[in-house]
Amino acid sequence: MFKERHKTREMEVKRTDIELIEGYLSGNGRDFEELYDRYKKLLYGYLNNMLPQQQSTVDDIFQQTWLKVIQKLPEYRCNNHFSAWMIRIGHNLTIDHFRKNKKFVNQISIDNEDAPDFPDKDKLVWDSMDQSDFEQALGQVLETLQEEQREVFMLRHNGVSFKEIAEIQNCSINTVLARMQYAIKNLKKNLVAWKTGT
């Protein structure tokens, strides 16, 4: 009995996103629940990192994103991954929020930024950091990154491809790769600063 139930569960897990979407559109509400459970953490984490310390805005945009996803599901074409498509909707709503609050996103300054220096003494601290330090600090230090870098890092960390990130951010892959390099270097620098307490 248990094995059978386990098998059914495994079969459910194997269903692709497009199968779940088709199932929902043909009248099965359970399929949407599964799709939602699969991606809610990704979107919530993404929005939390894009809008740190703004819990009510995050909740609001999270809800708006899903409402738009529900509304646009019949138009969804599986050229991209569902996650990338959903994040793009969330990204656009976040940008709208920034615009409404007149927070100007200056892409040029970020892309032309020089890579931070990393002196030898910091290298020693970096090497001495253990996994627990990392886990404790990474979430906090992410907030110090500039928006585009943080977004690229978060998306790549969640397995979104560079091509899809470029589509989300409406820029070239080279720009995305540059942002990713800066993000890694800045995070490294800030993690060392967090460890040394400076």
Partner 1 sequence: MKSECKNYIEKILNDNAEQRDAFRAHCGECPECASLASDWNRMRNTAIPVSQVPLSLDFAVLAAADSALKRRVHRKVTLRRIIYYGAAAASVALACLVTIFPPDSTAKNHRVIAKTLDWSKFDKELFETAAAIEISHHCISIAGTPDAPNQNLPVIEEEQEQF
- The 58-97 site mask, x for binding partner 1 (CB under 8 A), equals -x--xx--xx--xx--------------------------
Give me 128's structure tokens.
């001495």
User: Which residues inside 88-147 make contact with partner 1, applying CB under 8 A?
Assistant: 131, 134-135, 138-139, 142
Backbone angles phi, psi at 76, to 5 degrees: -65, 130
The stretch near partner 1 (CB under 8 A) out of 9-17, 39-47, 80-88, 101-109 is: 39-47
- Please report whether residue 32 would count as binding partner 1 according to CB under 8 A: yes
C-alpha 193/C-alpha 130 separation (Å) is 15
- Please report whether residue 180 would count as binding partner 1 according to CB under 8 A: yes
Alpha carbon separation from 160 to 7, 40, 148, 154, 182 (Å, rounded):
29, 15, 15, 9, 18
Residue selected from 3, 27, 77, 100 as contacting partner 1 according to rule CB under 8 A: 27
Residue selected from 22, 162, 171, 195 as contacting partner 1 according to rule CB under 8 A: 162
Residue selected from 38, 45, 54, 193 as contacting partner 1 according to rule CB under 8 A: 45
C-alpha 143/C-alpha 34 separation (Å) is 30
C-alpha 22/C-alpha 78 separation (Å) is 11
- Which of 180, 55, 19, 96 minimizes the C-alpha distance to 171? 180
Ramachandran sector of residue 103 (left: φ over 0; alpha: ψ -120 to 50; beta: rest): beta
- Which of 144, 155, 128 minimizes the C-alpha distance to 185? 144
The stretch near partner 1 (CB under 8 A) out of 2-10, 11-19, 41-49, 86-94 is: 41-49
The stretch near partner 1 (CB under 8 A) out of 22-30, 81-89, 90-98, 99-107 is: 22-30
Contact footprint for partner 1 (CB under 8 A) = 24-25, 27, 29, 32-33, 36, 40-41, 44-45, 48-49, 59, 62-63, 66-67, 70-71, 131, 134-135, 138-139, 142, 153-154, 156-157, 161-162, 173, 177, 180-181, 184-185, 187-188
